[in-house]
């Protein structure tokens, strides 16, 4: 029996990663999975709960700082008190914010440590696309990331870009890294075109208008300002089109931009999973204009639902599609305004949106190819099997 202590990073795509992976692995009788939630503000005492296929450990927040050494030390000790007799333990970390916990846990359990690299800071994308080194611009990088990489026994990267960064900038051995793309269970059902039109009307939209869909946080790194400006250009060319932005964020920041076309731009706020899936089914084009992002779950979901996709040609994210074969890559440009990041070319984005709107046969062909490729490349079974293989190899090194 392998005992997996999976430390959940309860944020955006990392949360989806945890839910999908554990849903797959929990059926394996050779694994005992303990999902650990740190810094929970809704409980007041250490809690252990039995779930279907796994155990959940909840550790409350304290008044100390979130990165306080004593908090993570004590959290690891509490887990050790209850689970110290477990053999073949593996700790799976999902953010460098939990570096201090990882040190304490690894020391107490003498266990193997797996780290999944979900996130890289914006300057790494800038460096990669411009083929620069950290020395070229004198950036030291994330100190916690560097320390966590050193103590990890194996690292999972969700893109080849992430692997490339670790090898180039952190001198990590290739044998210590495995690229495993995010995987997701396939949708259970799809709807007919007639049902799709009715669903559009039920949600308050015109059955014949074309819908462009963005889903995610409304924040600068997601390229929302460029998306809005691109849509204003598109709307002048194609009046019967609507942009729907799903997700929470700073609405006050983006509303002034949308005032040039307020009747055709909709902000829904955060939606639950089931409602979001309805929007996937009524949309005509999916757009992800991020300045920097890796293996986007939203992109995977859009492809699963058969949406033609336009994503930014930023390292990592651009691995999800083949340009002009399974979607469109939108041009990005470097900006050096003290932040060192990439930005979407709003005119190129508008051009690619218009191309798909004007060529429904092309849009359908791209979407179908992407859907087939998605079911193969980003399947939950692939992700689960590859992660399981890493766990099994690490246990063999212990024994």
Least confident of 136-145, 292-301, 357-366: 136-145
Q: Residue 127's pLDDT is what? A: 78
Query: Is 271 in contact with 343 (CB distance < 8 Å)?
Result: no
Q: Residue 135's pLDDT is what? A: 60
pLDDT single digits (tens) 114-142? 999 999 988 888 778 777 665 656 565 67
Q: Are strands 112-117 and 89-93 parallel, antiparallel or unpaired?
A: parallel
At the second CATH level, the architecture of 193-377 is 3-Layer(aba) Sandwich (3.40)
pLDDT single digits (tens) 214-254? 999 999 999 999 999 999 999 988 888 999 999 999 888 99
Least confident of 6-15, 59-68, 123-132: 59-68
Q: Which residue has the tokens 């490339």?
A: 164
d(CA 333, CA 185): 34
> What secondary structure does DSSP assign to 16-46, as a single string?
HHHHHHHHHHTT-TTEEEEEEEEEETT-SS-
CA distances from 298 to 39, 80, 82, 172, 286 (A): 26, 36, 37, 29, 9
> What secondary structure does DSSP assign to 163-179, as a single string?
HHHHHHHH---GGGEEE
Nearby residues of 178 by Cβ (< 8 Å), 6 or more positions away = 154, 155, 156, 157, 386, 390
Q: What mean pLDDT comes out for the span 45-67?
A: 84
The strand pairing partners of 243, in sequence order, are 212, 265
Q: Residue 192's pLDDT is what? A: 83
Return the closest-CA partner of residue 285 out of 220, 222, 234, 337. Answer: 234
Q: Residue 93's pLDDT is what? A: 97
d(CA 134, CA 124): 9
| pLDDT of 65 above 80 | no
Q: Residue 349's pLDDT is what? A: 97
| pLDDT of 85 above 60 | yes
CA distances from 24 to 48, 128, 343, 379 (A): 21, 33, 36, 11
pLDDT single digits (tens) 312-363? 999 999 999 999 999 999 999 887 665 677 889 999 999 999 999 999 999 9
Q: Residue 157's pLDDT is what? A: 98
Q: Residue 68's pLDDT is what? A: 80
At the second CATH level, the architecture of 2-184+379-398 is 3-Layer(aba) Sandwich (3.40)
Start-end ranges of CATH 3.40.50.2000 in the chain?
Answer: 2-184+379-398, 193-377
Q: Residue 311's pLDDT is what? A: 97
| pLDDT of 267 above 80 | yes
Extract the tokens encoding 198.
């009715």
CA distances from 249 to 213, 217, 294 (A): 16, 6, 20
Q: Residue 134's pLDDT is what? A: 58
d(CA 284, CA 241): 10
Q: What is the mean pLDDT of the chain?
A: 91
Query: Is 182 in contact with 378 (CB distance < 8 Å)?
Result: yes
> What secondary structure does DSSP assign to 68-84, as a single string?
-HHHHHHHHHHHHHHHT
What percent of the chain has a predicted confidence (pLDDT) above 70?
95
Query: Is 288 in contact with 299 (CB distance < 8 Å)?
Result: yes
Query: Is 394 in contact with 154 (CB distance < 8 Å)?
Result: yes
pLDDT single digits (tens) 91-106? 999 999 999 999 999 9
What percent of the chain has a predicted confidence (pLDDT) above 90?
74
């Amino acid at each position: 029996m392998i005992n997996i202590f999976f430390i959940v990073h309860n944020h955006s795509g990392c949360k989806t990663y945890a839910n999908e992976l554990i849903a797959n692995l929990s059926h394996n009788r050779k694994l005992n999975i303990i999902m650990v939630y740190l810094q929970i503000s809704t409980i007041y005492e250490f809690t252990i709960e039995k779930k279907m296929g796994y155990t959940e450990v909840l550790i409350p927040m304290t008044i100390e700082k979130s990165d306080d050494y004593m908090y993570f030390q004590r959290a690891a000790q509490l887990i050790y008190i209850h689970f110290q007799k477990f053999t073949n333990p593996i700790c799976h970390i999902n953010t460098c914010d939990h570096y201090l916990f990882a040190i304490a846990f690894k020391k107490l359990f003498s266990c193997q440590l797996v780290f999944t690299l979900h996130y890289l800071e914006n300057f790494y994308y800038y460096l990669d696309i411009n083929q620069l080194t950290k020395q070229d611009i004198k950036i030291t990088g994330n100190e916690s990331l560097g320390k966590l990489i050193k103590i990890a026994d194996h690292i999972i990267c969700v893109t080849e870009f992430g692997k490339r960064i670790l090898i180039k900038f952190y001198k990590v051995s290739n044998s210590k890294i495995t690229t495993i793309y995010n995987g997701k269970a396939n949708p259970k059902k799809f709807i007919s075109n007639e049902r799709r039109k009715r669903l559009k009307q039920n949600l308050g939209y015109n059955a014949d208008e074309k819908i462009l869909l963005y889903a995610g946080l409304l924040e600068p790194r997601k390229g929302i300002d460029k998306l809005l400006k691109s849509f204003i250009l598109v709307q002048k060319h194609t009046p019967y089109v609507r942009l729907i932005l799903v997700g929470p964020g700073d609405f006050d920041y983006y509303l002034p931009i949308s005032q040039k076309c307020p009747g055709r731009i909709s902000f829904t706020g955060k939606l639950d999973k089931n409602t979001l899936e309805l929007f996937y089914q009524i949309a005509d084009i999916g757009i992800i204009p991020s300045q920097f992002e890796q293996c986007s779950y939203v992109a995977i979901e859009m492809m699963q639902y058969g949406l033609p996709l336009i994503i930014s040609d930023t390292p990592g994210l651009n691995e999800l599609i083949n340009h002009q074969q399974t979607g469109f890559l939108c041009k990005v440009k470097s900006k050096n305004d003290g932040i060192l990041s990439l930005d979407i070319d709003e005119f190129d984005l508008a051009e690619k949106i218009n191309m798909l709107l004007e060529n429904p046969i092309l849009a359908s062909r791209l979407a179908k190819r992407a859907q087939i490729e998605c079911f193969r490349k980003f399947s939950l079974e692939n992700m689960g099997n590859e992660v399981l293989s890493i766990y099994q190899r690490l246990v063999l090194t212990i024994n």
